[in-house]
Amino acid sequence: MKFKHWKLDTDTNNVIWATLDRADQSVNSLNDEVILELEKVVETVEQTKNCSGLVIKSGKANSFIVGADIRQFTELKNAKQAREVIERGHAILDRLEKLKVPTVAMINGVCLGGGAELALACKYIVGDADKTVIGLPEVKLGIYPGWGGSVRLPRRVGAIKSMGAILPGRAFKAKQAYKMGFIDSAVPARQLKRTVEYFIENTPKHKHPTTIESLTNHRWVRGLLSNQFEKQLNSKIRESQYPAPFAVVRNWVRYGVGRKAFKGEAKAVSELLLSSTSKNLVRAFFLQERMKGLAKNVDFNPKHLHVVGAGVMGGDIAAWAARQGMKVTLQDQKPEFISGAIQRAYKFYKKKLKEPRKVQEAMDNLQPDVKGYGIYTADVIIEAVVEKIEVKQEIFKDLENKARPDAILASNTSSISIDEISKKMEKPSRLMGVHFFNPVSVMMLVEVVKGDKTDVDLYNKGIAFVRKINRLPLPVNNYPGFLVNRILMPYLFEGMLMLDEGYSVNSIDEAAESYGMPMGPLKLADHVGLDICIHVARILAPEYGVDIPKCLSSITDQGNIGKKSGQGFYKYKKGKLIANKNPTKFKKSKDLTDRLIFAMLNEAVSCLRQKVVADHDLLDAGMIFGAGFAPFRGGPMQYIKTEGADKLRSRLEKLEKKYGERFTPDKGWSALKFDKVDC
């Protein structure tokens, strides 16, 4: 039998080795064509009388199956059509699971979503100990595992472990997956084939939950555990905004892990697929893919990064790049400044990498460089010192005389004009901005800022550098505050103005979080640091003709600068928020949420009109990945598109009459067009 995506080989022991290798993609994903061919593979095994086993493997070097082909989600027209797709997958994986011969999923790398569900339908799962990453991340797309994963994983490891994987959409490395029972074995690559053969030949007992883990799936226990699961979910998300994890729990509570659970899964997931939450989260996925592809045709492979400034941002940029395999030299005026950054990097590596060998490799990449010798050989040089234009100008005047002529010179400034910084340079075309967000190890977005004189080819190499260190580049033009900080500023200011008006911190932040923002404006300001907020405010406020809120000035004058000092708009102990047991009573107003959100929407429209970014999709990408703007709403511009520009502009005009000129609709509202952009 001939296949387009699968290849079947039979070894001397009559084991069929089925290799998936999609010729049309660099990685394997599951679409209708691949799934229907899988059915033929299973049928072949069923009809081969002397077959002694089936191994499913990948023809790709570092991945098994990365999940379902997400573009298919966008083609579904109704829940009935979605359910047919899901039930077809159920039927095929059921046949795979019921094969009378031993079956093994041979995992050689990334195995996510539908790939993990396919693996769970096999009797055994064997993974490469170094490359395997396995998980069910579907909740991040507003759905949950729909091809039996929400049933088979609890069967295999019990409810507590499985919900710990499915509800947050967590992925596990091989050793973690083996320890929890997700996979049956984790071995070095050289032993992978032999281990698979061992499982086929000896058919040892496959993974089952322990007696206690099995009890977690029993009806009388499910009700007790569900309360705990939902309590944990409610502490992090709202069901009205992200319904999928709650649907997982309820299907499990109602049906357990029996046959009816599969039908419940199909019904729930088919409905979730058509929800606005899922559509917007899928859109965010494609926005992310678009940014990943921005520099794919740029021939630039930097090996050496030099960072000037070993403060929080500079030190963390250096640590992150070193973790990604780059040689990094870190410069500051005194060794003790660099020492603090090196210590933070070590703690970070130890926590994330765990294995001493990998920690040491990352530390070896990070080199203290007080004298700045790395300047002469670096491919990329990033300045991350204090936000003072005179200091930055002198640094770049010196750097351009020492650096290689082809080296990228970049500032991590969050608010100062790139053109202003470059004024003392002989060749201002060499300078660009690469604005990271704090914390560097968490925030994926990096604004790559093009000044009026920035060389285009060099700028494209800057975008390629950001991808090289596994971050998402957002091309922006050189306007005060660039994109993210500019849109966030009115949000933060409006929250502070409300505080000046007498509203409580809790009511202000709740107004934003009820809309879907991950943090209210006051909590966000505390996390960023009020010292940074007021410094940026003093730069941007004159540019946009606004006044700095009184509460921001007064609180910083008292030396309270937020989370890092233990006191800001909230109180903190050892970096953790201290809950207010007796929150002050506050005035109620239905306008609170609108004031906060429309302040951002209006600024977003202004940014689009001025072409701070190229199009509305990139603006949404910047705000989702740089500011956490309610992902389930798709970003500011997608929200405007969904709700209707005329309707929202009308609401903005009412806010203007009630609260003043800061809500005057930007003239860009009348020119809004939402032409489809290929993400």
Q: What angle do CA 12, 18, 19 make, to 5 degrees?
A: 120
Q: What angle do CA 361, 364, 368 make, to 5 degrees?
A: 150
Catalytic member of 162, 411, 414, 602: 414
Residue 435: active-site member = yes
Q: Which two tokens stand for residue 464?
A: 């390629």
Helices (H) and strands (E) in the chain, counts: 27, 20
Residue 650: active-site member = no
Q: Enumerate residues 6+ apart whose C-beta is below 8 A from 99.
A: 42, 45, 46, 54
Dihedral sign for Cα 231, 636, 77, 136, please: negative
CA-based nearest residue to 646, from 674, 615, 624, 675: 674
> Could you tell me if 242 and 141 are in contact, meaning their C-beta atoms sit under 8 angstroms apart?
no
Catalytic member of 306, 435, 527, 616: 435
Catalytic member of 213, 447, 494, 603: 447
Residue 62: active-site member = no
- Identify the three-state secondary structure at position 473: strand
Q: Which two tokens stand for residue 233?
A: 């979910």
CA-based nearest residue to 226, from 241, 247, 242: 247
Residue 39: active-site member = no
Distance CA(420)–CA(422), nearest Å, equals: 5
CA-based nearest residue to 107, from 56, 49, 67: 56
Q: Enumerate residues 6+ apart whose C-beta is below 8 A from 60.
A: 21, 26, 27, 28, 108, 109
Catalytic member of 185, 485, 507, 602: 485
Distance CA(8)–CA(201), nearest Å, equals: 19
Q: Which amino acid is at 673?
A: K
Element of type H or E holding 602: helix 591-609
- Identify the three-state secondary structure at position 581: coil
Element of type H or E holding 65: strand 63-65
Distance CA(15)–CA(13), nearest Å, equals: 6
SS3 content of the chain, % helix, strand, coil (to 5): 55, 15, 35
Q: Which amino acid is at 22?
A: R
Residue 287, phi-psi category: left (phi > 0), alpha (psi -120 to 50), beta (remainder): alpha
List, by residue number, the catalytic residues: 414, 435, 447, 485
